[in-house]
Amino acid sequence: MPVRLAFVGQREYFHYTSLEEPAGGVEPRFFDFRPDADPEPLLAAIEAFDPHVVFVWRPELIPAGAFEDVRAITVGYLTEPLPRPGGTPHPDLQTRLENLRRADPRNFDRIVSFDPCVVPTVDPVFRVWRCFPIPVTDRYYAPVPDTPSPRPRILFTGRSTEHRERFLGPVKKDFDCVHLAHGVTDDELIPFLRKADVGMNLHNEPYPTFENRVPAYMAAGLLVVTEELSPHHGLVPGRDLLEVRQPWEPWELMAAWERHPHAFHAVRIQGRRAAERFRASRVFPRFAKDLLADVRTFGRGRPAHPLATVESP
C-alpha cells in the first residue's frame, strides 16, 4: 500500500517544491493554505484524503491546536532564514524568529529545517529532527541546450529590495533580464525558465542563507549566478554555479558570456547534474521511509490523538 503524503502550503511558493506525481511508493496531494486562513476547510480536506503523513511548509502559519485531532504523522518544514548563533543581527531575521515563536509545537511530531546553521536558534521552540534543502518538483527539470545563446537571457524571481536592486540594476540596464517580483505560480513560471539561460539568486537582505530558487534554476538547466551561499548543501562554487560578492560582478559575468558564449557552459552542465540530488521524486520517498521508521522506533513527538496509529503501508 502506498504512503499517502499530504503537502500543505501556499501554492505559488511551495507547489514546485513538493512531490506532484506518485513515486517510490508515495502518493502525494497538495493542499493550498494561506496565512491567517480558516483551518477548517484544510482539516476537512486532510481528513478526506486520510494521509499517513502531513508535511507543512512554514509550520508557524498553522493556528495553535489546529492539528490536535489530525491522525497522521505531522511534519513542519522551516523554510525561512533565521538568526544564527554569532551571526550579525538583522531586523528581518528577528521578525521571522518572532513569527516562529508564535508557532504551536503541539501541532507537529517532527520538525525539519533547510538550514542546519539555525538549529541552536530553533531548539528552544522546536526540536529539529533533520535538515535537508528544499527539493524541486520533477516537472521543472529540463536539459541544458547544446549550444549557448550568444547573448544571455537572465531571470530573477523574487520581490524587489534595495539590496537586490544593487545587483540587478546594472544587469537590467544592459542585458536581457526578466524580473518576476511576486505571484507567479509554477505553471506560469515554467515558460520563463524554458526561455532563460541564467538564473540570478540574490538574498532578500545582506545576510547569508540558501534559497530554494538555486536548485530550481539548476534543475531547469540554467546557469546559476548567486550571492555567496550558506550552507552550500554540497554545491561547489566554480563547478556547479558561480558566486558573486559585489554588485558589479554579475554584470561582469554577463559581459564575459557575450564575449565568449561557451565560457560558463561546463558549469551550467555540471549544475544540471548536481540538481538531481534535489529531485522531489528521489527526496520524498526516502524521507517518508525514514520518517515512518523513526516514529515506529521512537514514537510521536506530540501528544497523539487517541485513535492515531503508525501504519505500515
pTM of structure: 0.93
Specify the pLDDT at position 250: 98
C-alpha cell of 290? 525514514
Specify the pLDDT at position 305: 45
Three-state SS letters, the chain: CCEEEEEEECHHHHHHHCCCCCECCEEEEEEECCCCCCHHHHHHHHHHHCCCEEEEECHHHCCCCCCCCCCCEEEEEECCCCCCCCCCCCHHHHHHHHHHHCCCHHHCCEEEECCHHHHHHHCCCCCEEEECCCCECHHHCCCCCCCCCCCCEEEEECCCCHHHHHHHHHHHHHCEEEEECCCCCHHHHHHHHHHCCEEEECCCCCCCCCCCHHHHHHHCCCEEEEECCCCCCCCCECCCEEEECCCCHHHHHHHHHHHCCCCCHHHHHHHHHHHHHHEHHHHHHHHHHHHHHHHHHHCCCCCCCCCCCCCCC
**With contact defined as beta carbons under 8 Å apart, do 49 and 4 qualify?**
yes
Residue type, 176: D
**With contact defined as beta carbons under 8 Å apart, do 202 and 246 qualify?**
no
**With contact defined as beta carbons under 8 Å apart, do 45 and 64 qualify?**
no
Specify the pLDDT at position 301: 79
Residue 28, classified by CB atoms within 10 Å of its CB into exposed (0-12), middle (13-18) or buried (19+), is buried
Q: Are 3-135+279-298 and 138-277 in the same CATH fold? A: yes
For the chain, the domains span 3-135+279-298, 138-277
Name 39's Cβ contacts closer than 8 Å, sequence gap at least 6.
33, 62, 63, 66
Specify the pLDDT at position 313: 53
Length of the chain: 313
In angstroms, the CA 194 to CA 184 distance is: 15
CATH 3.40.50.2000 is right for the domain spanning 138-277: yes
- Which candidate, 277, 295, 181, places its Cα nearest to that of 236? 277
Give the residue ranges of the chain where pLDDT is below 50.
304-310, 312
Specify the pLDDT at position 306: 42
In angstroms, the CA 264 to CA 223 distance is: 8
In angstroms, the CA 182 to CA 255 distance is: 28
CATH 3.30.450 is right for the domain spanning 3-135+279-298: no
Other CB atoms within 10 Å distance of the CB of residue 123 = 11
Say how many Å lie between the first and final Cα of the chain, rounded: 5
Q: Which residues pair with 70 in a beta bridge?
A: none
